[in-house]
Amino acid sequence: MATIRKPAPPVQRGENAHPAAFAATSDDSITHGEASAAAISPYDIVRARGVGPKRAALLRERGIATLHDAFAHLPLRYIDMRIRHMIADLQPESDAIVEGRLENLTIKPHRLRSFKALSTARLRDGANDTIRVVWFNLPAYARFPVGEPVLIRGRVAHDASGKLQIVHPEVHPLAETAIAPIRPVYRLPPEVPQRLFASIVAEARARLDHEMRGAIPDELRRAAGSLALTEALDYLHRPPADTDSALLEACDTAAHRALALDEMFAFELALARERARSKRRTGAILDGAARYTAPFMAELPFAPTAAQLHAIDEIGRDLAAPSQMNRLLIGDVGSGKTLVAFWAALRAAESGYQAAIMAPTELLAEQHQRNFGRLCGRLGAMSALLTGKLAGAERARTLRAIERGQIPIVFGTQALIQEGVRMNRLGLAVVDEQHRFGVFDRARLIALGSEANVLMMTATPIPRSLALTLFRNLDASTLDEMPPGRTPVATRIFTEDGAAAVDAIVAGEIARGNRAYYVLPMIDDEAAADGDAEAGEKKSVAAMARRLATSLTGARIGTLHGRMRPAEKERVMREFRDGALDVIVATTVVEVGIDVPEATVMVIAAADRYGLAQLHQLRGRVGRGAAAAQCCLVASRDAGAAARERLATIARCTSGAQVAEADLRMRGPGDLIGARQTGALPLRFAGFIRDFRLIERAGDLAEEWLRHDPGLELPASAGARIALQRMLGFGFSLGDVG
C-alpha cells in the first residue's frame, strides 16, 4: 500500500462520498461557541456537527432550520451502489462501478504546482481486464489501497489517445468500508457537501429517536398497517440492500406512502376542525324579496350559461338556509364566476345584509367594482371600493358609511380586513382567487360578520372528484361550461428558432388593434450568474424586451415582474388594459384574473419549464373576448421528453377540466394539491401520493380519531396536536388547492 504522509480516509469525491466515511473537518464549525451564546434551540441546525453560522444560514434558506427539518429532508435521488460493471463492457461517458484491484500506482507531482499531483493506476477486474484510472490534484496525503480488493466508482471517458479510462473516481476498500447499498443524493447548497449532510441526518436520527412522532397516533397507525415516521425516514435516508430502486425512484414505496399518509392525516384533521367549527355557526338567512336579483338576471347583456344558473341555484338555497354556507365555486378561467358572485352579493343586499368581495390585487378589485357598476349600477344597490389607495378623509367617510350599513356591497383587497374596517351586518363574504390568500386573511374577512356565509372562488384546474375527496364536506359548485362565442385559444408549439414566426403573429395582432403578452421565466441576469448566459438571453424579461424593441417596430412595450413595486405593477397593467401599451413582457406575475378582452396573444418562452396547470392559467389571460386568441408555446432546445409531452397535452386540451384530468394522469393527485408548486400548503410529502384512496384513507383515519378524541387531549394525540399546529401555523385553509 502506498501511504503518503499520513493515513487518511480513502480517496473520495466530496460530492457523492459515502456518509459513513464522513469525519467532521469543517472549519466552519469553529464558531460554535459564539453562536450558542444566544438562546439557540438545541435542535437548531447550527448545533449540528460541521455546521457553523454560514452553513446554517444557507440551510435555513432551503427550509432546513432544525435537526427535525434535516431528518425530513429527503434525498433528491439515489445512486445504486449494488450495480457492478465489468471493464470489458464499459461505455464512454457513463458512470461505472467496478470491483477489482489497483496496481501500478504512479504519482507525478504537478509540473507547476508541486503540492498537487496527477495520480494514475491500473484497475484489474475479476475477468482480468484492465483500465487506466486517473486522479487529479488529490491532497497529497490521500491513501491508495493498492493491491487490495476495492470498489471504484467514477466516470468513464476517452483519454488523449482515445483509450477508455476512469476519471477521478472514488475508491472504497472492500475489506474496510461498509458501502451503503443505495446512496442518497440530497438537494443542498453547494457549500454543504453530501457526506456532511448525511452525517447531519445521522446525528438528527440519533438525537430525535424518541421525539420524532408522526401525526397519526401509534395505535391507529399500526391498525392501518402504516410505517412509523422514523422507520419511513430511516428507510429513505438509508435504503436497505433489497430495495427495488425503480420503486424508490418513483416514490412508490411503503415509506413514501407512510409519510404521505401521515401528512394527509394532519391536513384532514385541520379540515375536520374547520368543518366542525363552521357547522356549529349559524349563518345569516338571505331570503329577501328579489328586488335586485330578479332585474339583474332579466336584464343581463348576455344569457347566463346553464352552469352559472345551476351554481346560482345551489348558492341561493344555501344562503336561504339557517346554517352557514361554506362553498367553493370551481370554474375555469373565463367561465364567468364573477357574475355568480355579483348575484350572491345582490342577494345579500336585498335581504338586508352586506356583502364583502375580496380580491388579491387592487387592479382586480377595481375591475370587479367597475363591472359591477356596469351590470348592476341601475339597480340602486350601492357599492364601494376599499383598497390600500383609499386614504384620508375619503377613507374615513367610506368606512363610516360601511359601518352604518349605508353601503351594502364592498369590493376590496386585503385592505378590507385591515384595522378599522367594521361591517354593519355582513351576510356574505366572497373570496376571489382564493388560493392567493392565507387562512388568516379569510378568517379575518369572515370575522367581519359572525354570521357571514362564505363563497370561495377558484380557477385552479383540479378534477372535481379530487376536490370533493380532499375537502369532503365542503360544498362545491362547478362552472363546467364556457360562455358561448368563445373560440378556444389556438395553441401552437414553437422551437427557439421560431422566434421570428412568433413575432410575426404578434405584429399581426397589434396591427389589428389587439395586444399581446410575452411570459419569461427570469427577470434579467439570474441566468448569467448560473453561467448560462445564452439562456439568459432567451429567457429573461429584460433581454426579450430589448429584442422586441427592434423586432416589433413601433409597438409600445411594457415590462412586469416581481421585483417591481406594487404601484408600478398596477400602473403597467392599467396602461395595458387601457390600450396605452401593446405588449407586456412579464414573468409569471402576469396578474391572475385580469380580464383584458383585447389581449389575443400569449407567448410563453421556455414553456417546457411549467406544469400543465400553470400553462393553462397563463393561457387563460387571453381568449377572454370574442376575438380568436392564440397561445405560442416556445420550447427550449434542451426540453426533455416529459416536457414535450406536457406541451403537446396543453396544446390538445382546451378546457380546465381536460387539463386537470391530464395533469392527474401524468402526475398523480399529490402534485395537484400543491405540495410542491406553491408553498401555500405546509405539505412536504404529499407530492408522493399516486392514488386518491390514500387521501380518502387519511380523511377516514382523521375522522375516526376525532370521534375517539375530539379535543386531541389524550397523550396519544400529542403528535397529532403538533402536526395540526404546524398545518394551521402555515396559514393554510380549506380550499388551498394550488
Residues that bind ligand ADP (CB under 6 A): 302, 304-305, 308, 331, 333-339, 459, 483, 593, 595, 624
Q: Which is nearer to ligand ADP, 306 or 396 (CB)?
A: 306
Choose the one of Mg ion, ligand ADP, none that binds residue 629, judging by a C-beta under 5 to 8 angstroms depending on kind.
none
CB atoms within 10 A of CB 168: 16
First to last CA, the chain: 59
- Burial class, 185, CB count within 10 angstroms (exposed 0-12 / middle 13-18 / buried 19+): middle
Q: How far is CA 610 from CA 250, 533, 677, in A?
A: 20, 21, 10
708, three cell numbers: 375517539
Chain center to CA of 354? 36
Name residue, grid cell 362552472.
Answer: 479
Please state, in angstroms and rounded to a whole number, the distance separating the CA atoms of residues 648 and 495: 13
Coil, strand or helix: which one is 671? helix
Q: Which residue is nearest to Mg ion (CB)?
A: 593
Span from 17-25, 221-229, 411-419, 589-597 in contact with Mg ion (CB under 5 A): 589-597
Residue 102 near residue 149, CB atoms below 8 Å = no
Which residue, 304 or 316, has its beta carbon nearer to ligand ADP?
Answer: 304
Number of residues that bind Mg ion (CB under 5 A): 1
Task: Indicate which of ligand ADP, Mg ion, none lies near residue 123 (CB less than 5 to 8 Å, by partner kind).
Answer: none
* Cβ distance to Mg ion smaller for residue 194 or 460: 460
- Out of Mg ion, ligand ADP, none, what residue 69 binds, judged by CB under 5 to 8 A for its kind, is none
Q: CB of 305: closest distance to ligand ADP in angstroms?
A: 5
* 316 interface partner picked from ligand ADP, Mg ion, none, CB below 5 to 8 A per type: none
* Shortest Å distance, C-beta 337 to ligand ADP: 3
Query: By C-beta, is 483 or 731 nearer to ligand ADP?
Result: 483
* CB-nearer residue toward ligand ADP: 276 or 626: 626
Q: How far apart are CA 606 and CA 619, in angstroms?
A: 14
Residue 305 binds which of Mg ion, ligand ADP, none (CB < 5-8 A, kind-dependent): ligand ADP
For the CB of residue 414, give the shortest distance to ligand ADP in the complex, in Å: 19
User: Measured from the CB atom, is 158 or 370 closer to ligand ADP?
Assistant: 370
The total number of residues written for the chain in this structure:
738
CB of 459 to ligand ADP, least distance (A): 6
Smallest distance, ligand ADP to C-beta of residue 302, A = 4
CB of 61 to ligand ADP, least distance (A): 35
- DSSP secondary structure of 79-148: EETT----GGG--TTEEEEEEEEEEEEEEEEPSS-TTSEEEEEEEEETTS-EEEEEEES--TT-BB-TTS
Structural contact between residues 384 and 436, judged by C-beta atoms closer than 8 angstroms? no
Minimum distance of ligand ADP from residue 622's CB (angstroms): 12
- Restricting to residues 642-681, which ones interact with Mg ion according to CB under 5 A? none
CB of 330 to ligand ADP, least distance (A): 10
Q: Which is nearer to Mg ion, 243 or 458 (CB)?
A: 458
Stretch that binds Mg ion, among 108-116, 271-279, 468-476, 587-595 (CB under 5 A): 587-595
Helix (H/G/I), strand (E/B), else coil: 309: helix
CB atoms within 10 A of CB 250: 12
The span from the CA of 651 to the CA of 649, in Å, is 5
Report in angstroms the alpha-carbon separations of 701 from 264, 268, 474: 10, 9, 18
CB of 331 to Mg ion, least distance (A): 8
What span, in angstroms and rounded, lies between the C-alpha atoms of 61 and 82?
Answer: 34
Q: Which residues contact 592 (CB under 8 A, 6 or more apart)?
A: 360, 361, 364, 433, 436, 459, 617
358: Cβ contacts below 8 Å, ≥ 6 apart: 365, 412, 413, 414, 416, 417, 429, 430, 431, 432, 437, 441, 445
Please identify, using beta-carbon distances, which residue of 71 and 411 lies nearer to Mg ion: 411
| Shortest distance (Å) from residue 583 CB to ligand ADP | 21
- 356 CB burial (10 A radius; 0-12, 13-18, 19+): buried
| Residue 4 contacts residue 140 (beta carbons within 8 Å) | yes
Buried b (16+ CB within 10 A) or exposed e, 141-165: ebbbbbeeebbbbbebeeeeeeeeb
SS3 324: coil
Q: Residue 199 or residue 335: which is nearer to ligand ADP going by CB?
A: 335
Residue closer to ligand ADP, measured from CB, 134 or 628:
628
C-beta of 592: minimal distance to ligand ADP in Å? 9
687 is in the binding site of which of Mg ion, ligand ADP, none (Cβ under 5 to 8 A by kind)?
none
Min dist CB 276 to Mg ion, Å, is: 30
By a kind-dependent CB cut-off of 5 to 8 A, residue 304 interacts, out of Mg ion, ligand ADP, none, with ligand ADP
By CB under 5 A, residue 593 contacts Mg ion: yes
Cβ 686 to ligand ADP shortest distance, Å: 27
Q: Which residue lies nearer to ligand ADP by CB, 52 or 463?
A: 463
For ligand ADP, which is the closer residue by CB, 371 or 649?
A: 371
CA distance 23 to 17: 11
The interface partner of residue 483, options being Mg ion, ligand ADP, none and the CB cut-off 5 to 8 Å by kind, is ligand ADP
> Taking CB within 5 to 8 Å according to partner kind, which of Mg ion, ligand ADP, none is near residue 335?
ligand ADP
Tell me the window of 229-237, 475-483, 590-598, 688-696 that interacts with Mg ion (CB under 5 A): 590-598
Nearer Cβ to Mg ion (359/639): 359
From the list ligand ADP, Mg ion, none, partner contacted by residue 302 (C-beta under 5 to 8 A by kind): ligand ADP
User: Contact positions toward Mg ion, by CB under 5 A?
Assistant: 593
